[in-house]
Structure 1
Amino acid sequence: MFVTMKETCDQSKAPGHEKLLSGVSAMALIACLMTSPALAQSESEAEEETTQAQDVVVVTGFRASLRTSQDIKRDSEVFVDSITAEDIGALPDRSVTEALQRIPGISIDRFQAGVDPDHFSIEGSGVVVRGLTWVRSELNGRDTFSANNGRILSFADVPAELLGGVDVFKNQSADMIEGGISGSINLRTRVPFDSAGRMAAASIEGSYGDFAKEWSPTVSALFSDRWETARSGEFGFLINYVNSQLTARSDGQQISNFGQRTLFSNGDVVDDGASTPVGTVWFPRGAAFRSQTFEREREGIGAAAQWRSPDRTLEATAQFLRSDSQQAWTEHAIEIATDNVADNGDSRAFPGTTLSFGSDGVFTSGLITSDSTGWRDDQFGAQRTPVWGLQSNNIRRDQEQRYVTTDYGFNLRWTPEGPWSFNFDYQHVTSTVDVTDLTLWNSTYQDAEIELRGSSIPIVRFRNPGSFWGPDADPNDPAQGVPGTPCTPPAQHCPNYAGQSDLSSPAATFTRAAMDHIEQSEGKLDAFRFDADYSFSNMGWLESVRFGARRSIRNQTTRFSTYNWGVISEQWGSGGPVWLDGNVPGLGDLAGYHAPFGFDNFMRGKVPVPTGDQPRLFWGSNIIQDYQGMIDYARGVNDSWRPDTACGQPDNWQPLHLRCGVDADSPFLLQEINPSREQTDALYAMVRYNTDLDGGAQLSGNFGVRYVSFDREASGWRAFNQQGFLSDAECDAQAADPDQTTSTFCQLDPQVRADARAFANGALEPNDAVYTDDFWLPSFNAVLRLENGWQFRLGLSQALTWPDIGLTRNYYDISLSTTSEDIVDGRPTGRFSVGNPMLRPIRSDNFDLSAEWYFAEVGSLTLSLFYKRLHDVHTNGTERIAFTNNGATFDAVVTTPVNADTTGTLKGFEIAYQQVYDMLPAPFDGLGIQANYTYVDSSGVSQSTLSATDPDVSAGLVANVDTSRLPLQGLSKHTANFATFYESDRWSARLAYSWRSDFVVTVRDVIVPFAPIIQEDSGQLDGSLFYTVNDNVRIGVQAVNLTNEVTRTSQVLNDDLLTAPRSWFMNDRRFTFLVRASF
């Protein structure tokens, strides 16, 4: 990828980076920003670099950013769009991810993880380019990554203040590093030769979130200098530092687990014996709501040193960047435990009330309860657990994560006299990821009154079960009924709760479960690159030949525990759960460990708090800060409910580090530790051409081929998990007891039972895998430039994207299932998920075409068409495999990532327009518009329920929906951006709106009922206002989410793609007040 300078500005640049046209701000370092490491284009360009610019056009503000980005797009030989910081530390948006969404064809996710649409992301998360997530990340044109289960850098974790710009390359040339089918995103930092001389700059900011009602500071500083000596040449040095903090809040309201039910003439989904069926409807099992607070700190430091020889033939650059991003969040949520509801009589209308449904059969309003017929063991004994009411969870969840990426780069460029030029580049990257995620569930029982209101936030009220049985209450009036009112008939419907009057009481709550999850991963990468360029003279259309080689070696160890959920006490077993009004030996008063949480200002007061004036009890402190205290509490309650065995009862919670088989002094099982090594060797050759045509037209471009050899070594373990199968004596006792049902295991042949005990003995076998492959990637790019500002561009290429690290982890976690559906031919069957270290990359054939009209310094209209054929897409495959251990052999149904054997297509177009209306009379001549629209559609691309971290797919926990009928996950057919701005000598203002149409967030939610989730159409309005005080100081305010956008999702119900509303999320409007100075 190459561009040509059109302006006289300082041509010096970071090692091997091609020259890009740039305006220069009086307050910033805006000059000659770079793309990927490569060689100088020609001898004449090298000669241009020997002189300093004399006539620099000074352009300031957002207009300067648009001008530079337009020149980059126009002069490149490949399809590229860019964002440029018009001031030091001043991308147009508050984060890299949010800035990227302004580029045509790019959209961002608003959830922290695609498969978990319950947790909102304040600053955006994943980046989608032209409908695909297969993106490659670069830092200064070199590889970069985060050492998690993915493959690319987490863009939200890089301080935007360190960057000079961001480039998005949407197709390939032979000299580009392979790996991005949908695009390569290059983060550009600054180097000292960017500026004409000494420069010092600093900024201080304060951000206020109007929902969190907290201030957060950001400070940044930069110093850059360059000096020349007569004998030793020119030197430059730059250092840059930023510390950015953010506090934010997000609230959500949700409707849970719609299922298909029969509606009867009594207005309920339960037959009262006197009713008749009237149709099929979609009815929920409850509701949920949550409030989440975030604290994020990003710290970054960047440095660069440059040297240029006196004769200007040698240039060396050393660069350093360290990004340290930490995020902590706490969530309080109340959720109906829909799995337990389904297993205990299921949801229904409260007696005496009726349910309402729309014309499509989807529930719209009603009072929902459950008449338990299941596992509430103490409901007729101590009458503590009510017969009526939906079991619900009061969930406290704390998560802390830290991503640290450190990048070292060195580049040496030699351009001697003559046709040859050479480039050498070295990079070393280290990355660590640390995540601690802890949750504790309390539980109670309540009814859910739900009123859906179309796209508006629904009204949900959680009520004491049985509260409508008061002697003076009208059961048809939801406003009546007093929680705790003594009930009369029928007695078994009474909640009792030991006479407590509301759900804030410890007597109405028990501790149900806990979960812990830890990740401690690290990786490093070393990459070497050599390029040579030979420029022709008097060879007609042939301009130069470039060839080179690159080797990268990436070593990574992923330590990723399971999400370790287990029971502490429950409504089933041991006579009921452990209620919080009791005392446990060694713990004392259980209520003292918990605190009420009332969800103040829930959803900004747009709807009532579902719990009304009865705050519920949650774990009372940050679990991570007192992890051991939570462990002691949970194990004490656990023992009082059902004593543990040596490795824990099968259902009891054991903290990660106390599980049998953990690695010494670690919380990880051996099968949760997965080292891998990848080596990539590449060779390329590329011809650049340029010729003049009749009529003043010019045709230029490149064609070439890249050869890639790839080796992967993945190490892991084959674990035959220890399972506590009953002994023959216990089976005999069970069969002899007329009051007990004989388990499916005890119904097996005695020899099969003996084989199962031998097989599930906790054995570990080392397991190594090696994958080797190679690829040829041809490319052709052409640009036809006309004299009137029009140009036409064509790109043909083949590309690939490597599989995520998590999908290639080498592990087998083998357990036998003895449920009736998993007994085949009288033998238990295993059912589990594994990684696939033999997984091939996704490949694509890419066709790109554009028409571009550049009619002003900041004025362009472009149309880009694109078409991709996709091969070997990663999806899930299932295979039946026989495993032998300890002399016993059993079959297992194994779910693993595989390459689809079908070819899919993706197509679309982008339209982009920008202009400053200089022709208008003052003061309106500073007005401008930037707008773009993208259409994307796909066909035949295999859907995937792939997750590197979710074991439940193999257990068959998927929705009964044909996902091939859904649009491709993450793809919005329509995305649009519109920004209007105004700039004068002193003032600069901007309003920017980003919108995307509905799209599939995930084809499989991680929670019951594991349904596909769609995010509905959404848009966000942001703005900024700046005032230039003098040549050195600028003040301003930036605003995010001005319209208080509510993000909505829906659940897909059936193969006809009928949907039901699922969630509504609301977050801060953020206002940042800032002062910037440069000297």
Structure 2
Amino acid sequence: MQSNHPRTALSRALGLAILAMAGAPALAQSDAAAAAEAQAQQQRTQESQQAPEPQQTQEPADVTELDSVVVTGFRRSLQFSTDAKRDSTGFTDSIFAEDIGKFPDLNIAESLNRIPGIQLARDVNNEGLNVAIRGLPSSFTKTVINGVSVATASIGLDATNQNREVDLNLFPTEFFTAVTVHKTPRASLPEGGAAGVVDMRSLRPFDNPGTNFSYQLQGEYNDISDEISPRGTFTGSWTNDQGTFGATVGVSSVRGTIGVEGFETIGWTNPGLNYVQCGIEAPPGTDPFTGRPAECNSGGGGGWLMPDRVPDHAAAIAAGLTPGQVVDRELLLELNPDLTIEQISEALMPRLGRPVHMSGDRDRDAFMASFELRPSDNVHLYMDTLYTKAHRTNDRLDVNLVGRVFGASGLLPIDMQMDENDVVTEATFTNAQFFLEARPYQEDVQYWSVNPGGTFWFGADGDIKLDVQANRSRSWMFRESPTILVNTPFTTIDYRNDGGLPEWDTELDLNDPALGWTWAGGRVNVQNEKRVTETTGARADLQFGEDGRNVRVGAAYDRFSRRIQGFDNSPAWQAHVLDTISDADLASYLLPGPHGFITVDFDRFMNDTDYARFRDEAPESAGPNTGGSTGGIAEKSLAAYVEVNGETEVLDRMLRFNAGMRYVTTDQEVSGPVVFGGVREWQVLEGDYKEWLPSFSAAWDVADDVVLRMSGSRTMTRPNPSSMLPNTTFTDQSALNANQGNPNLAPYLSTNFDIGGEWYTGDEGFVGATLFNKRVTGYTYQGITTMPFAQLGVPWEDLTDGQRAAIEARGGPDNATVNVQQQVNADGSLDIRGLELIWVQPLPFVFEGLGFMANFTKINLDTEGSDADRLAGNVFGIAPKMWNSTVYWENDLASVRLSYNWTEGAAGTGPNQQGIPYAQIFGEDRGQYDLSASYTLANLPTSPQLTLNVLNITGEERRSNFHWPNAVNNFYDPGRTILLGIRGTF
């Protein structure tokens, strides 16, 4: 029976109670405490503005003078965000910390989810991982910290990071004071984000002059893992009395756990019937039992093969079948009297229907330090450093009903029922078999960065400013993912699918180690993955004029490299395992599991089979089991730009504008292993391109509280490194056809136009609307490029004698052409048109401290050009509609926020899944409630705040479907997470 453990009644009742609490009135405060806290907050705000900030790559004058602002907490962060948006020239949205070490959300990705046009990519444990902007994938978002590039080596639980995504869960939110999303570019912003740029601003000493210290301690509970985990952060800053030097340090530690229950299928498939089962005479010379006639398998797929003859085992005999009987058309129709053979050939079943459970540790330690030196009013120097280290384990267990081609198995249906979409809704299957897949993953990730820089003012009035900056970062990941797979005896099951999750009844006790589990058809794997990413850069920016009216010129150098290596020692370990542990011994290494099916005594199994030696001796392979390819890329970019910022009056109203041009050149080296003549060697391919990236933005204050905006620009994202790796292989002996990566892929280019504006209603309130249009070129698809052999980069001596002779016969290496299958840029464009609405509104006339914020995004996609059809099949993962809202209330002691985020489901893949032409993976709509609350104990030292955060209050699951709504593809239940803590600042 499928294992699908419901949460306890207590857990669900707790979730409903928390949801109800969110609307309840908060505790009252004393007037004296309120006045004292307001005065302290106002003093901190004023002090933070006494010294100017070093120049960052962001909108000029990000925050207006807020001397009159006395609001605290979340409303204070909203006030800063509103003023930053109002003062910007382009289309930006920002989120600010409430105070030092008090970012308003638990996860930076979750914070960004409150911004219109942002789509949050969640890991299977529901943790916010990375963000997409305005309908383009996450890899089209450029992420920077303090204006410099970020590249991480981590890949998330479901290993989706194969491109240029940045996993934000590596970075503690408490180390940052603000995050700004630039939806429209400026020439001085780093290129690489066709969708936009996310700039995370880390803590610095002069953000809050004097001596300051903050702490936060929390206990985290997840109702799936059913464990309590600690987490804590401490930050301290100091500046000397002269205001010339300061230091900030921070330490953050998380000892987390994960708990995820779910169901996976690895796609759905249908029968591949042979000539005998179709009742069609096989052509001469064709084996009727192995041939698969197209006229009987017209719907594609064919991954489910039924046995040629009734197997000779107890399960088939008990089902009333005769061992050895030919499984032909007549028998199939006799066993399934309600179906035709055409219907049977189209029946959809999960390839590997499997309940899955994940449990493990999610530990992270991080350290940051920032130093500022201000020896004079004309010189500001800084040094930012960040280090984070994560250790993650995941005991991933699943028990699979085998529906795909697998050894001697092959489901034989009896009384099968199907709906109008050919999805099997009910059946008895004999010759059924299950296998346990136990995968105890371990993963270690590190990231460090160093970012020195400075600002220098020249001229009599200090109206010439030079910003210089350098950066260096490195991220490293090593992941080991062994697999232990053992099989059950054959059995007969009763299967049903009512539109929820597929279920079955079986006489086998899948939680019994002595059931008769066997190595027959089983396996073990030892597979490792290593990733290293590095960034190096330097930039200089010279500004002539004041911040509002100036000319800026600058140059930047950036180098990015990434190397992925897969290692596999499975054959050697498997031979040793089978020599060490027989079928008779196997039961002693299995244990009853907590999820309705067995698990493995991992420590004993690994020790007795010498796993560590085989892991450490694993040779390099073509790629890891996460889907990446072994290989590397090194990109060197040089950029130069000029930018003009100005102000003028139009109809007696101020018009601010920014105009600029950025020119960038990129040289690439992509490398990876190739095999020629049985010899494996490393091949290097080169490519380069140059781009001009203009931008213009204007903001017009048409009324005292109304700003209209317009922006036009061109942005770029570099192509997927995985599509450029060599991986060169010839598919014939004449060297006429080959597969290879494409180092000459052009970047994705987006031509953008935005128009919109805001009406500022007072305090943190405003209403905004934006229309945007993006025309993206450069999308890729699998095509064929014909090129001379000499351009392949394949050494002549590595070819076989037959291949060299064939090339000579076609005119030699310089003239003989080869048809190369590779990713190529499509001749067409993806047009993205969208609408963003946002409303932030305090409601003091209803209740003091009450307010709400809400936003809505709608996106329409079209493709144009001769390759429009190919483009349409490669654009997926874009939600057509998104909205989120937050109701907040706070005074100087208490605060409550209830948020709801909803995303419409979207196609997650192109068509032709599992060889079925129409089939795509679609994600379902999903909404999630989150709660954040705090209460300040004002009479205690440091005025500590008691905090409560509840994520996914109602326990919403995440589901995708194999084209049809009753054909689940993946289903994950991450549960709800409750965090109770205390934090303070002094």
TM-score between the two structures when normalised by the length of structure 1:
0.72
Residue 926 (structure 1) aligned to one of 849, 856, 871: 849
Partner of 2:136: 132
* 1:880 to partner: Cα distance: 7.7
Query: Mean Cα displacement is larger for which, 934-943 or 507-516?
Result: 934-943
Q: Report deviation, 1:24.
A: 5.0
CA distance in 1 between partners of 2:42 and 2:203 (Å):
15
Preserved CA contact (<8 Å) 1:291 1:599: no
Partner of 2:776: 870
Aligned to 1:234: 244
- Within 5 Å, which residues of 2 pair with 1:661-810? 674-694=631-651, 696-720=652-676, 759=677, 762-810=678-726
Q: Which of 819, 827, 841 is matched with 1:901 structurally?
A: 827
Measure how far apart 1:656 and its partner are.
Answer: 8.6
1: CA distance between counterparts of 2:654 and 2:618?
Answer: 71
Residue in structure 1 matched with residue 361 of structure 2 by the alignment: 295
Residue by residue over 1:457-482, the C-alpha shift from the partner in whole angstroms, topping out at 9 and shown as x without a partner, is: 45443444xxxxxxxxxxxxxxxxxx
Is the Cα–Cα contact under 8 Å of residues 144 and 152 in structure 1 kept in the other structure?
A: no
- What do residues 904-923 of structure 1 show as CA deviations (whole Å, max 9, x unaligned)? 21111111111110122xxx
Aligned to 1:407: 449
Q: CA 1:943–1:968 in structure 2 vs 1: closer, same or farther (change >3 Å)? A: farther
Residues 367 and 450, structure 1, Cα contact 8 Å, conserved in 2: yes
CA distance in 2 between partners of 1:434 and 1:248 (Å) = 19
User: What's the offset of the Cα at 1:97?
Assistant: 2.1
**CA distance in 2 between partners of 1:772 and 1:684 (Å):** 19
- How far did residue 64 of structure 1 move? 1.3
Given candidates 576, 593, 596, the residue that maps to 1:598 is 593
Q: Which residue of 2 is the match for residue 76 of structure 1?
A: 88
Cα gap change, 1:942/1:339 in structure 2, threshold over 3 Å: closer, same or farther?
A: farther
For 2:188, the equivalent position in structure 1 comes to 175
| Aligned counterparts of 1:349 and 1:137: Cα–Cα separation in 2 | 52
| Other-structure match for 1:364 | 425
Q: CA RMSD in A?
A: 4.0
Cα offset for 1:565?
8.4
Looking at structure 2, the residues matched to 657 and 667 of structure 1 have their Cα atoms a distance apart, in angstroms, of 15
Structure 1 match to 2:841? 915
Tell me which amino acid in the other structure corresponds to 1:357. Answer: M
Report the alpha carbon displacement of residue 1001 of structure 1 after superposing the two structures with TM: 2.5
Q: Which amino acid aligns with 1:284?
A: M
Q: Which residue of 2 aligns with 1:980?
A: 887
Paired residue for 1:989? 896
1:886 aligns with 2:950: no
* Shift of residue 528, structure 1, vs aligned partner: 1.2
In 2 relative to 1, CA 772–279 (structure 1 residues): closer, same or farther, beyond 3 Å?
closer
Following superposition of structure 1 onto structure 2, how do residues 536-555 of structure 1 map, counting pairs within 5 Å?
A: 543-555=549-561
Structure 2 distance, partners of 1:1067, 1:348, is 35
Over 3 Å counting, the alpha-carbon distance change for 1:414 and 1:323 in structure 2 is same
How far apart, CA to CA, are the structure 1 residues paired with 2:866 and 2:921? 14
- Hey, what's the Cα distance between the residues in 2 that align with 1:141 and 1:782? 22
Query: Is 1:559–2:572 an aligned residue pair?
Result: no
In 2, the alpha carbon distance for the partners of 1:835 and 1:624 equals 40
Which residues of structure 1 form unaligned runs of 5+? 1-22, 112-119, 370-387, 465-482, 484-500, 570-577, 601-608, 610-614, 633-653, 721-758, 817-823, 945-961
Q: Structure 1 residue 184 and structure 2 residue 197: aligned?
A: yes
Shift of 1:794: 0.7
For 2:765, the equivalent position in structure 1 comes to: 859
CA distance in 2, matches of 1:147, 1:1077: 33
| Change over 3 Å in CA distance of 1:36–1:145 after alignment to 2 | farther
Deviations, residues 710-767 of structure 1 (Å, cap 9, x unaligned): 11123444313xxxxxxxxxxxxxxxxxxxxxxxxxxxxxxxxxxxxxx4xx224553
Letter of the structure 2 residue corresponding to residue 507 of structure 1? G
- For 1:1016, the aligned partner's letter is E
Match of 1:472 in 2: none
Corresponding letter in the other structure for 1:805: P
Q: Give the Cα separation in 1 of the matches to 2:978 and 2:542.
A: 49
Q: Given that residues 1024 and 1037 in structure 1 are in contact (C-alpha distance below 8 angstroms), is that contact kept between their aligned partners in structure 2?
A: yes
Distance 1:621 1:887, change over 3 A: same
2:152 counterpart of 1:146: yes
- Alignment correspondent of 2:7: none
CA distance in 2, matches of 1:296, 1:502: 27
Of residues 326, 330, 333 in structure 1, which corresponds to 2:395? 330
Residue identity opposite 2:742 in structure 1: N
Structure number with greater CO (CA < 8 Å, separation at least 6) is 2
Q: Describe the SS at the equivalent of 1:415.
A: strand
Which residue does 2:471 correspond to in 1?
427
Q: Secondary structure at the match of 2:908?
A: strand
Amino acid at match of 1:886: T
Identity %: 22
CA contact 2:435–2:485 (8 Å) conserved in 1: yes
8 Å contact from structure 2 (residues 543, 551) kept in 1:
yes
Alpha-carbon distance between aligned partners in 2 of 1:716 and 1:249, rounded to the nearest angstrom: 37
Does structure 2 conserve the Cα–Cα contact (< 8 Å) formed by 1:159 and 1:298? no
Q: Does the aligned pair in 1 maintain the 2:42–2:69 contact within 8 Å?
A: no
Q: Which residue in the other structure is 1:37 paired with?
A: 56
Take 2:331 and 2:855, find their aligned partners in 1: how far apart are those partners? 49
Does structure 1 residue 166 correspond to structure 2 residue 179?
Answer: yes
Which residues of 2 match residues 829-844 of structure 1 at below 5 A?
834-844=740-750
Tell me the equivalent position of 1:495: none
**Cα shift at 1:28:** 9.7
Corresponding residue for residue 1012 of structure 1: 920
One-letter amino acid of the structure 2 residue matched with residue 543 of structure 1: R
Check conservation: 1:506, 1:591, Cα contact below 8 A. Answer: no
* Cα deviation, residue 702, structure 1: 0.9
| Corresponding residue SS for 1:888 | helix
Matches within 5 A, 1:255-274: 257-260=267-270, 270-272=332-334
Report the secondary structure of 1:271's partner residue: helix
Q: AA paired with 1:560?
A: G
Tell me the distance in 2 between the aligned counterparts of 1:453 and 1:30: 63
Q: Aligned ranges for residues 55-70 of structure 1 at < 5 Å?
A: 55=67, 57-70=69-82
**Aligned residue identity for 2:634:** R
Mean alpha-carbon deviation: is it higher for 911-920 or for 412-421?
Answer: 412-421
C-alpha contact 1:284 1:347 (8 A) present in aligned 2: no
Superposed, which structure 2 residues align to 1:376-387 within 5 Å? Answer: none
Q: What amino acid sits opposite 2:413 in the alignment?
A: A
Contact in 1 for aligned 2:58/2:189 (Cα 8 Å):
no
Residue in structure 2 matching 1:1063, options 951, 970, 974: 970
Count of residues paired in the alignment = 849
> In the TM superposition, what are the counterparts of 1:239-254 in structure 2 within 5 Å?
239-254=249-264
State how far apart, in whole Å, the 2-side matches of 1:35 and 1:831 are: 57
Residues 673, 716 of structure 1: 8 Å contact kept: yes
Q: 1:941 Cα deviation (Å)? A: 7.6
Q: Secondary structure at the match of 2:897?
A: strand
Tell me how far 1:1046 sits from its aligned partner: 1.7
Evaluate the alpha carbon distance shift between residue 236 and residue 790 of structure 1 in structure 2; reply closer, same or farther with a 3 A threshold.
same
Helix, strand or coil for the counterpart of 2:772?
strand
1:396 correspondence with 2:461: no
* Structure 1 residues 963 and 693, CA gap change in structure 2 (3 angstroms): closer
Once residues 962 and 54 of structure 2 are traced to their aligned partners in structure 1, the CA distance between those partners, rounded to angstroms, is 42
Find the residue that maps to 1:1068 and give its secondary structure: coil
Distance change in 2, residues 1:29/1:1004 (3 Å): farther
- Whole-angstrom distance in 2 between the partners of 1:303 and 1:268: 76
1:277 aligned to which of 336, 340, 359: 340
CA contact (8 A) 2:229 2:255 kept: yes
| Secondary structure of 1:340 counterpart | coil
Greater Cα offset, 294-303 or 130-139? 294-303
Deviation at 1:109, TM superposition (A): 2.4
* Distance in 1 separating the partners of 2:470 and 2:662: 20
SS in 2 for 1:1042: coil
TM-score (normalizing by structure 2):
0.78
CA distance in 2, matches of 1:291, 1:710: 44
The CA deviation at 1:139 is 0.4
